[in-house]
């Protein structure tokens, strides 16, 4: 393995670990800090630092209000709607369980693209994958007695809505190509999401509940540096070296990292039901993504033959 491949593999492993560990950091953070302000401070800080870095590097920025608005909407959908609900739910849902439910994001993306926008196709394998993925969610929720009673219908619903919002932001981001560099646009997304999260936190009166406990501050710093700045930077680097389908396989690893860390650090339950749910959900996601890749490949081949 040459130097460049080693660097790419290290970046991939960093994304797998750091993004998988964010669920643990969030769980630790919200033990003493109100959820929306906790997430808001994270993304305002990370977004501001990313924008500042882009300015120093001379990266291009979006040069019109329409593009900035679109980029900001992506940030609001993914970070306010998606991440914000995850942080809110982790006040009582264990971090490993939250990661398993958020792993359904590719399933929601497939539903939006195939059944709502109707701009993709899916074969029988993909449909089976959808059924498996959501079947794993049902099994996880109904089997709460064997998972330590750490997931309920309310928690499941909130985390599924979080996945839906993140999916909506992901799909919407593909509908336009804004001016500016990727780094600059990510900075704007994070900053906009942070403003939205902080606004919700202030409206909920969270400022009176702020507690700068050492564990929460350290968790916040970890999320800013490793979860946001380094994690995003490594992922962008991977996308430059690998196909998106290969880079996206981190999504299969994140729940495993989150469940293991939650068990080791916080003593969260690690039961047979959790393992089975993890296998079912990840298998469903894999089948859906493989189905979409195959259909895209067929469509592309047909287009090439027609040209």
Quote the domain boundaries for residue 107: 3-306
Which of these ranges, 61-65, 68-72, 157-161, has the smallest mean pLDDT?
A: 61-65
pLDDT at position 243: 76
- The pLDDT, as a whole number, for residue 140 is 87
Q: Output b/e per residue, 12-31; b: 16+ Cβ within 10 A.
A: bebbbbbbbbbbbbbbbbbe
- Report pLDDT for 264: 97
Residue 297 confidence (pLDDT) above 60: no
Distance separating alpha carbons of residues 60 and 188, to the nearest angstrom: 12
Mean pLDDT of 83-89: 97
**CA 136/CA 249 separation, integer angstroms:** 19
Comparison of pLDDT for 244 and 12, the residue scoring more: 12
Q: Does residue 296 register a pLDDT over 80?
A: no
On whether the pTM is more than 0.75, the answer is: yes
User: What is residue 249's predicted lDDT score, i.e. its pLDDT?
Assistant: 84
pLDDT at 298 over 80: no
Find the range with the poorest average confidence among 81-95, 191-205, 242-256: 242-256
Residues 6+ apart with CB under 8 A from 297: none
**Amino acid 294: pLDDT:** 46
Structural domain tally of the chain?
A: 1
């Amino acid at each position: 393995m040459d130097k460049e491949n080693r660097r790419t593999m290290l970046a991939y492993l960093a994304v797998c670990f750091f993004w998988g560990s964010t669920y643990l950091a969030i769980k630790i953070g919200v033990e003493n800090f109100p959820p929306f302000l906790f997430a808001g401070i994270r993304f305002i800080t990370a977004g501001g630092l990313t924008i500042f870095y882009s300015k120093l590097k001379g990266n291009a920025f979006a040069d019109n209000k329409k593009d900035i608005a679109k980029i900001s909407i992506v940030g609001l959908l993914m970070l306010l709607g998606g991440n914000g609900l995850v942080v809110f739910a982790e006040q009582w849902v264990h971090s490993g369980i939250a990661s398993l439910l958020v792993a359904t994001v590719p399933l929601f993306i497939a539903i939006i693209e195939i059944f709502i926008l109707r701009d993709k196709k899916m074969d029988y394998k993909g449909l089976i994958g959808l059924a498996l993925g959501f079947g794993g969610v049902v099994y996880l929720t109904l089997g709460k007695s064997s998972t330590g009673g750490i997931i309920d219908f309310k928690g499941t619903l909130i985390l599924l809505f979080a996945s839906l919002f993140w999916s909506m932001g992901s799909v919407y981001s593909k509908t336009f190509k804004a001016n500016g560099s990727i780094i600059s646009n990510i900075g704007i997304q994070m900053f906009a999401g942070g403003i939205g999260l902080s606004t919700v936190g202030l409206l909920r009166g969270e400022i009176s509940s702020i507690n700068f406990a050492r564990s929460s501050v350290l968790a916040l710093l970890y999320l800013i540096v490793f979860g946001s700045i380094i994690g995003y930077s490594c992922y962008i680097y991977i996308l430059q070296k690998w196909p998106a389908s290969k880079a996206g396989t981190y999504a299969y690893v994140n729940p495993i990292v989150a469940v293991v860390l939650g068990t080791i650090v916080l003593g969260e339950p690690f039961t047979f039901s959790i393992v089975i749910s993890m296998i079912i959900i990840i298998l469903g996601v894999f089948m859906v993504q493989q189905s979409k890749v195959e259909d895209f490949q067929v469509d592309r081949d047909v287009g090439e033959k027609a040209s």
